[in-house]
Amino acid sequence: MATTIWAWAWRIPWSAIRAGARQLELTINGIGERAANAALEEVAVVLHVRQTTLGVKTNIHLDKLYATSRLLTGDYWCRCGAQ
């Protein structure tokens, strides 16, 4: 089941890339998922691992994904929430 879900989630961004898109609308921590956007971490890793095969290059810093994800967690908002 997970493979099927992943295949559908990846289909839209991959179609956009093949059509020449230079930017994708993706989710972080599932925010935006109702709009059928794929997960940033999944797309970023596939593009990184398969750069040569897919013929694409990104400027995504995979080492920053965890920190970016943490910015959206409750810990961050508890410390820096609305004033």
Q: Taking the CA atoms of 7, 35, 53 and 47 in sequence, report the sign of the dihedral they define.
A: negative
- CA-wise closest residue to 37 among 18, 22, 23: 23
Supply the range of the domain harboring residue 15.
Answer: 2-80
Q: Which residues contact 40 (CB under 8 A, 6 or more apart)?
A: 26, 27, 28, 65
Over the stretch 25-67, which tens digit does the pLDDT of each residue have? 888 888 877 777 888 888 888 888 888 888 888 888 999 998 8
Q: What is the pLDDT of residue 31?
A: 82
pLDDT 10s digits, 1-10? 455 555 666 7
**Whether this model's pTM surpasses 0.75:** no
Number of structural domains found in the chain: 1
